[in-house]
Amino acid sequence: MTPEELRADVPAMDRGVYLNTGAGGPSPRRVVDATEDALEYHEYEAPTGAGTYGALFDALDETREVVAGHVGVAPESVALTQSTTDGIGRIAAAMDWQPGDVVVRTDQEHSAGILPWERLQQTHGIEVRVVEAAGGGVDREEWKAAVDGATLAVFSSLCWTDGCRLPVAELTDIAHDGGARVLVDAVQSVGQRPVDFGAWGADAVAAAGHKWLMGPTGTGFLHVTDEFAESLEPAQVGYMGVEDPEADDWGLKPDARRFEVGSVSPVPYAGLREGIATVEDLGFETVTDRIERLTDRLKEGLGDRLVSPERFESGLVAFAADDPEGTAERLADAGIYVRDIPPTGTVRVSVHVFNTADDIDALLDAL
């Protein structure tokens, strides 16, 4: 598959200049077709074939394997969720919090990586420490001091605000040296470039398929190391998260799968598998190279309005505007779709592999 073939398979691209994948990636027809086929199979054929539950379990097992292969971990270390926010929330709710426990986060986190800790401040008396990370610049000494004695360190592999990449493995090592567990929000990384959750060394990584992987909304995944999982008590327990739901002395599964509770729809996960297959068919050499060339063109055109670094970091590019919300609305009226970022007062452009130089030029002309 080529980028041009992918673009021709994404109906949303016929309706405007879409530069907002960081919020939600438009799915190609092949992803939607896969979800429709899965729905028909599950409702028409499975009841008198594999059975509705048999078909469900097979679909979830297949999805865990596909996700695990894409991010470099074992299938058993992956729990299927509905979103990145869902995955982060499951970790927050499963830890044994005590008054005075410390969570360290950066100042560039999405609300998914902020709200759980603010709530725990209110309910459990924990302390939250915030470290600056604008432009991807995390001061190592400041980080080291903040995570010393902390319970959990939370940060994004790629900041949603300005598209900067953080040194995940390095920050993780420092946090571990300070005695903290590490939870990474990787939703803006998967689908843009190769990622290896195992090499990062984090205790947990949350992500989703509805952005750069171009899967359906409602497809999330949570990687948890076995050692960390065994220390966690999920807020909910159901038959899917235990070894034997019929046993009197049932026990939680020893890995990430303890975070799965009960029946979910297998349909969107078929789309997630197809989204991952689409990215892998293109190949990251193609994906990342095209994103870099297009973002270079955009940054040159933005000039001194550019907020993101001039060097290539990702497909997310932020720029300054007097009225960010109004600018995004005006561009939408012109058929060009970006978004404003309220915490930083900027406008953010998302450039994916299906975008073209004409898309970039249309945006620059409209500005």
Q: What is the pLDDT of residues 1-54, one digit of tens each?
A: 999 999 999 999 999 999 999 999 999 999 999 999 999 999 999 999 999 999
Contacts of 159 (CB under 8 A, 6+ apart): 106, 108, 133, 136, 165, 166, 188, 316
Q: What's the chain's average pLDDT?
A: 97
pLDDT, residue 134, reads: 85
CA distances 44 to 31, 41, 267, 367, Å, are: 20, 5, 13, 51
**What are the pLDDT digits (tens) for 258-302?**
999 999 999 999 999 999 999 999 999 999 999 999 999 999 999
Q: How many CA atoms lie within 13 A of 315 on its CB side?
A: 30
- Alpha carbons 291 and 354: distance in angstroms, whole number: 9
Assess whether pLDDT exceeds 90 at residue 201.
yes
Q: What is the pLDDT of residues 246-259, one digit of tens each?
A: 999 999 999 999 99
Question: What does the pLDDT look like over 31-42, one tens digit per residue?
Answer: 999 999 999 999
Q: Which residue ranges make up each domain of the chain?
A: 3-19+283-366, 38-278
Best CA proximity match to 359, nearest among 283, 289, 291, 276: 291
Question: Tokens in use for 221?
Answer: 């995944």
Whether the Cβ atoms of residue 177 and residue 359 lie closer than 8 Å to each other? no
- Report the half-sphere exposure of 60 (CA within 13 A, side-chain side): 23
Query: Which residues, including other chains, have CB under 8 Å from residue 53's CB and lie 6 or more apart?
Result: 263
Kindly report the pTM of this predicted structure.
Answer: 0.96
The residue type of 20 is N
CA distances from 260 to 20, 178, 338 (A): 30, 30, 34
Check if the beta carbon of residue 154 is closer than 8 Å to that of residue 147. no
**How many Å apart are CA 359 and CA 17, to the nearest integer?**
6
What was the pLDDT predicted at 137?
86
The single-letter code of the amino acid at 300 is E
* CATH topology assigned to domain 3-19+283-366: Aspartate Aminotransferase, domain 1 (3.90.1150)
| One fold for 3-19+283-366 and 38-278 | no
* Percent of the chain residues past pLDDT 70, beyond the cut: 100
38-278 CATH fold: Aspartate Aminotransferase; domain 2 (3.40.640)
Q: What is the mean pLDDT of residues 159-165?
A: 96
Phi, psi of 195 (to 5 degrees): -130, 150
Q: What are phi and psi of 194, to 5 degrees?
A: -60, 140
pLDDT of residue 336: 98
Cβ pair 220, 214 in contact under 8 A:
no
- For the stretch 91-145, pLDDT in tens is 999 999 999 999 999 999 999 999 999 999 999 999 999 999 988 889 999 999 9
> Residue 182 in 3-state DSSP?
strand
What count of residues does the chain have?
367
Report how far apart, in Å, the C-alpha atoms of 175 and of each of 26, 38, 86, 104, 169 are.
Answer: 36, 42, 23, 9, 10
